[in-house]
Structure 1
Amino acid sequence: MQKKIIRITTVPMSLGGLLTGQLKYMSNHYEVVGISSYENGKLDLIGQQEGIRVLPVNMTRTITPFKDLKAIWQLYRIFKKEKPYIVHTHTPKAGTVGMIAAFLAGVPHRLHTIAGLPLLEARGSKRKILDLVEKLTYSCATMIYPNSFGMKDIILENKYTTQNKLKVIGQGSSNGIDTKQFDPKVVSDTAKKELRTSLGINEEDFVYVFVGRMVTDKGVNELVRTFAKLTKQIKNIKLVLVGPHEKSLDPLLDETENLIATNPDIIEVGHQKDVRPFFAMADVLSFPSYREGFPNVVMQAGAMGIPSIVSNINGCNEIIQDGVNGYIVPSKDEESLYKSMLRIYNNKQEGIVFNPTEIRDLIKERYQRTTIWKAILEEYNSL
């Protein structure tokens, strides 16, 4: 009889997106059950996709004490009934309610992966509350897995837990990247040309692309302002913004929204199911995020053979080697971002470009998805 693992995320998109393929792989070795919010049947679709049993427990992404207590109680009852050998949580809220419930239910192995710390941008009393919640989550866990070495250092600096509870699996990342899916060969030259044409981008235009949530924490305000400054100097450049807004959680500044709406060289395309064509037709990913765990989009861009300009934050500065597969700039530093965006443009005009094959090989060597899966399986087996 296989031992049972319960994997939990706050929303189904994380269960099926951040962990794509991993749950199906693990089900060859363990009985895997997925738990997340129901979200109008999205959870059931993830269960079908991964070939696992799923159970709905509604969780919120904000501070909601009564709803959180209800989620803890529901999870506790599930754990007492299912008797899992391992409960493994991802995302902040699922981590908190999942680890507390697993501790109360006496689950022997309580694992939590840290893929980012939103609380790092909080201030005042809110930060103090979030710090306490984070410490409570870690105290209920038996092991904590930061998905980058920089994240591990941040956790220790903030004294959320002790060194012996922390481990980075492999070279970082929660799920690695499928380099067969993210491969420049999957997008033809014709498809790239057609996409550019449909967006009003000329053949000679230099394209900066941003892929991610259109929120303040991703550095979108700085990116848009910097690009607007560049357009006053350079005419043949475009900025393509790929991703959804989250106006209720982390809205952009009004001035940023206005620049996006009025600058003809800024092209917003919203959420896209397939981001590969946008990487393929771009020259560089510009990703000046404030905080990350281990950013998938930077790995994806690298696997597609394009360089990235990223903030000097954990995760980003582990994937990007400055001057080798992109540039690293200080977080929230618009002048440095401006200089790097201008530099990569000027270099191309002079015929100095990053080698796409070398960029891709760096990702393949370190973050191939199956390598990450095997490392996580080894960790499970060692418990």
Structure 2
Amino acid sequence: MMANKKKLFIITTIPMSFVFFKGQLLVLREKFDITLISSPEAGLYETASFNKVKCYGIKMSREISLFSDVLSLFRLLFYFVKNKPDILHANTPKGSFLSLAAGWLCRVSTRIYYVHGLRYQGESGFKKKLLIAMEKLSCFFATDIIAVSNGVKDHLQQDFITTKEITVIWNGSINGIDLDYFDPAHPDLSNIESAHLIQKYDFVFGFLGRLVGDKGINELVAAFEQLNLEYLNIKLLLVGGYESHLDPLQQETLLSIKTNPNIVHVGFQEDVRPYLEAMDLFVFPSYREGFGISLMEAAAMNVPAISSNITGCNEIIDDGINGFLIPVKDKEAIYLKMKYAIENRLAISKMSAVTRSMIKDKFEQHKLWNKIISFYEGIKH
């Protein structure tokens, strides 16, 4: 009966972040009475309706805004006092900080801080100090801390963010990978090459994610432009939208994307699988990640990768086996590995043959869900 289920409140700053729980919510609702809490946008209500769980909208700003943040804190506090959750599952920096503080104030017995990444790593000066302070407080307010990867766990400890025990569930990642969906043999996959003028003998480099500076897009486009002077049959396929208000690309990069006929920008796509299938090599030169979800998706589609040697990503890519690891913010390293790939297609093909099996062994979704549920049910406070 629903009355016997523990109340689990899952909090994110914006509803878009509930994509991390795709499929998982349907499993969790069998064990818990779930309420989703996020900013009151359409995505919140659509996600709750689809998964047949409760929801409640509380506006939360992604950026630091004192008046707005205090107001959100009190709204969370009043909602928790009224509805008495048993477990808080806090995600994303602002949503976590506010909900964990409110949960601590009203003594929610189990307050889980799920650390998806460390935002302070991409900042400097006063803002970095402020973000570090927020991380420390979020950890202080939490009864249980889960890191999305072993790398995130190491940084939390090395940067003296917390001395509490930190858990990594199985091999990390918040939701694993759905190998039935991300399957190059899936019958629903469409052929997108002809629609984007990709020829049979083109070598296709690809990127999936937000087109912003800290994803390394400036370096990636510059490296491709250099390669494009040397090789004819190459393409760069960019899947994702801009976030100009947060982290705009350089004007030179934007001009290249717009004017180079060998750079194909398709914007945000609901179904990314046909675009991953069209790629020969995924390129992910991000500056910071908690866990490279798109790297897992590419690997499940038999696409090896060039990736920055950063937290999370270096737990997915085994250098020289299913891809290459390169230094952060290094255009020359990106260029050299892309050049190697063009000239050594057989080596890339051999990598493609092992990527999916490596993902299956470490990140298969249903195995991870079972371990997540066992962890939540085993918490005693």
| Fold shared per TM-score above 0.5 | yes
Amino acid at match of 2:29: S
What SS does structure 1 have at the residue aligned with 2:369? Answer: helix
Deviations 1:72-123 (A, max 9, x none): 1111111111111110111111111111111011001110111112221111
Superposition map of 1:84-123 within 5 A = 84-123=85-124
Identity of aligned residues (%): 40
Name the counterpart of 2:27: 25
Amino acid at match of 2:243: E
Superposition map of 1:322-333 within 5 A = 322-333=319-330
Amino acid at match of 2:216: G
Q: CA deviation at 1:354?
A: 2.5
Superposition map of 1:231-242 within 5 A = 231-242=228-239
Q: Does 1:226 align with 2:223?
A: yes
Q: Does 1:306 align with 2:308?
A: no
Maintained 8 Å contact 1:310/1:329: yes
Superposition map of 1:244-283 within 5 A = 244-283=241-280
Name the counterpart of 1:14: 17
Maintained 8 Å contact 1:187/1:276: no
Deviations 1:119-146 (A, max 9, x none): 2111111111111111111111111111
Amino acid at match of 1:178: D
Maintained 8 Å contact 2:217/2:285: yes
Name the counterpart of 2:316: 319
CA gap of 1:239–1:98, structure 2 versus 1, over 3 A, is same
Instruction: Measure, in 2, the Cα distance between the counterparts of 1:114 and 1:217.
Output: 19
Instruction: Measure, in 2, the Cα distance between the counterparts of 1:285 and 1:165.
Output: 35
Instruction: Measure, in 1, the Cα distance between the counterparts of 2:372 and 2:75.
Output: 27
Q: CA deviation at 1:188?
A: 7.1
Amino acid at match of 2:13: T
Instruction: Measure, in 1, the Cα distance between the counterparts of 2:370 and 2:75.
Output: 31
Name the counterpart of 1:353: 349
What SS does structure 2 have at the residue aligned with 1:185? Answer: coil
Name the counterpart of 1:377: 373
Instruction: Measure, in 2, the Cα distance between the counterparts of 1:346 and 1:369.
Output: 35
Q: CA deviation at 1:315?
A: 0.9
Deviations 1:209-263 (A, max 9, x none): 1000000111101100001011011110000110011111111111111111121
CA gap of 1:205–1:313, structure 2 versus 1, over 3 A, is same
Q: CA deviation at 1:149?
A: 0.5
Superposition map of 1:5-154 within 5 A = 5-15=8-18, 17-39=19-41, 41-154=42-155
Q: Does 1:161 align with 2:162?
A: yes
Instruction: Measure, in 2, the Cα distance between the counterparts of 1:352 and 1:36.
Output: 42
Maintained 8 Å contact 2:119/2:131: no
Q: CA deviation at 1:51?
A: 1.5
TM-score by length of 1: 0.96
CA gap of 1:322–1:353, structure 2 versus 1, over 3 A, is same
Amino acid at match of 2:32: Y
Amino acid at match of 2:59: N
Structure 2: runs of 5 or more not aligned: none
What SS does structure 1 have at the residue aligned with 2:201? Answer: coil
What SS does structure 1 have at the residue aligned with 2:132? Answer: helix
Maintained 8 Å contact 2:323/2:351: no
Instruction: Measure, in 2, the Cα distance between the counterparts of 1:293 and 1:57.
Output: 25
- What value does the CA root-mean-square deviation take over the aligned residues? 1.3
TM-score by length of 2: 0.96
- Of 4, 7, 10 in structure 1, the residue corresponding to residue 7 of structure 2 is 4
Superposition map of 1:202-221 within 5 A = 202-221=199-218
What SS does structure 2 have at the residue aligned with 1:313? Answer: coil
Deviations 1:304-358 (A, max 9, x none): 111011000011100010111111111111111111111111111x576224342
- Of 337, 341, 346 in structure 2, the residue corresponding to residue 340 of structure 1 is 337
Amino acid at match of 2:363: Y
Instruction: Measure, in 2, the Cα distance between the counterparts of 1:130 and 1:221.
Output: 25
CA gap of 1:335–1:82, structure 2 versus 1, over 3 A, is same
CA gap of 1:218–1:65, structure 2 versus 1, over 3 A, is same
Maintained 8 Å contact 2:211/2:242: yes
Deviations 1:260-283 (A, max 9, x none): 112111111110000000011110
The ranges of structure 1 where at least 4 consecutive aligned residues each deviate by more than 3 angstroms after the TM superposition are none
